[in-house]
Structure formats: structure tokens, C-alpha cells
Amino acid sequence: MKKNSLAILVCLVITLAADAQVTLNSVTLPAKIKTDNTELILNGGGIRKKLFFKLYTAGLYLSAKSSDANSVINADHAMAMRLVITSGVISSSNMSEAIEEGFEKAMNGNTAPLQTKIDQFINTFKKEEIKQGDVFDIWYVPGEGVKSYKNGKYQSTIPGMDFKKALFGIWFSGNPVDADLKKGLLGS
């Protein structure tokens, strides 16, 4: 009887832990996010730091947990990144520059084949000034592309698996923008 009760308790704890939200840098990342008919679960979260600034808190959302960075980059499955701006030093201008640098790192300097799509994506962050507390949801939808939302408001869709791979490479490539953030997003 005790073994059965213990087994049920362990299963319950594991189930609750799998559905747990995470709070980092005073930002709560929900356990699940949903758009249209797709619901994704929080895979992991982390804080993007540069020098001594905590720029944003990020969460990776997948249909099933994964700690494999290459799988995240290459999978043609729905997934999302949530970026919550946590620093007043972030502006539309320096965020745009940081994204451009992220693509440069992820693509080993060979951004020319995707430059038009990269510019279109960067324009998402230039539409209106970025301020502390802004939330960007970046969804990859198979067959459609990367859809961007700012504070729940649709911004743009950029088609192509090539663009999706480059974009997610910013966080998950062998040369990510922040190695500690990569580890946190992958739940490791």
C-alpha cells in the first residue's frame, strides 16, 4: 500500500513539475502558451545578459521537451520564443543592432542569402519604440514561417525554413549570443 501511494505521489510531482511556470529576473514565464490551435510547453528559460545588464528574459516553448540544440534549430515543428524586455537600456535601435549581430554569429558572417528576410524581421523591432516590459512572441509555424507579435499584437510573418533555422540559431547555434542563456532555454 505504501509503495502504491509513493508511486502515485511521485507521478503527481513529476506531472506538476512538467506544467510549472518559471520566474526569472522578476518575469514569470507561463508553463504553456497558445496561438490559434497550437499549444506549446515551456522547455526552459534564461536571462540574456550583456556586461552587467540583464537585457531580457527568454523562454523556449516546444510541443515536447528537448535539450538538443540542433533539433530545435532544424525541427520543422511549431515552436516559439518569448522575450520579455527587462532593461531600460534596450531601445529599438540597439535591439535591431543586437539582432543583426546575432544573425552574423549564427550564420558565421554569411547573412547575404537571407539579408532581405533579416531586414524584414529587424523592422518588426523598429515599428514602435521598445520599452521595458514589452513582450515579444516569436512563433515558428510550419508551412507559414516565423510570426512575430509585440505585446500580443501581430507584427509580421517571414516565410521559409531557412530563415527559421538562422533565427533560432541566434540562441541555439554552436556560437550563440549567450551560452548561459542557451543552457537555460534547453533546460540544462
What does the pLDDT read at residue 19? 58
What does the pLDDT read at residue 25? 66
Domains and CATH numbers, the chain: 2-185 (3.50.70.10)
Supply 118's cell numbers: 533579416
Of 47-51, 71-75, 78-82, the one with minimum mean pLDDT is: 47-51
Residue 67 has pLDDT above 90, yes or no: yes
Give the rounded percent of residues in the chain with a pLDDT score beyond 70: 89
Asked whether 69 and 75 are in contact (CB, 8 A), the reply is no
Q: To which residue does cell 550564420 refer?
A: 107
Instruction: Find, among 89, 88, 98, the residue nearest to 125 by Cα.
Output: 98
State mean pLDDT over 48-70. 93
Annotate the chain with three-state secondary structure.
Answer: CHHHHHHHHHHHHHHHHHCCCEEECCEEECCEEEECCEEEEEEEEEEEEECCEEEEEEEEEECCCCCCHHHHHHCCCCEEEEEEECCCCCCHHHHHHHHHHHHHHHCCCCCHHHHHHHHHHHHHCCCCCCCCCCEEEEEEECCCEEEEEECCEEEEEECCHHHHHHHHHHHHCCCCCCHHHHHHHCCC
Asked whether 178 and 170 are in contact (CB, 8 A), the reply is no
Instruction: Find, among 23, 35, 27, the residue nearest to 63 by Cα.
Output: 35
Q: What is the mean pLDDT of the chain?
A: 88
Length of the chain: 188
Give the rounded percent of residues in the chain with a pLDDT score beyond 90: 71
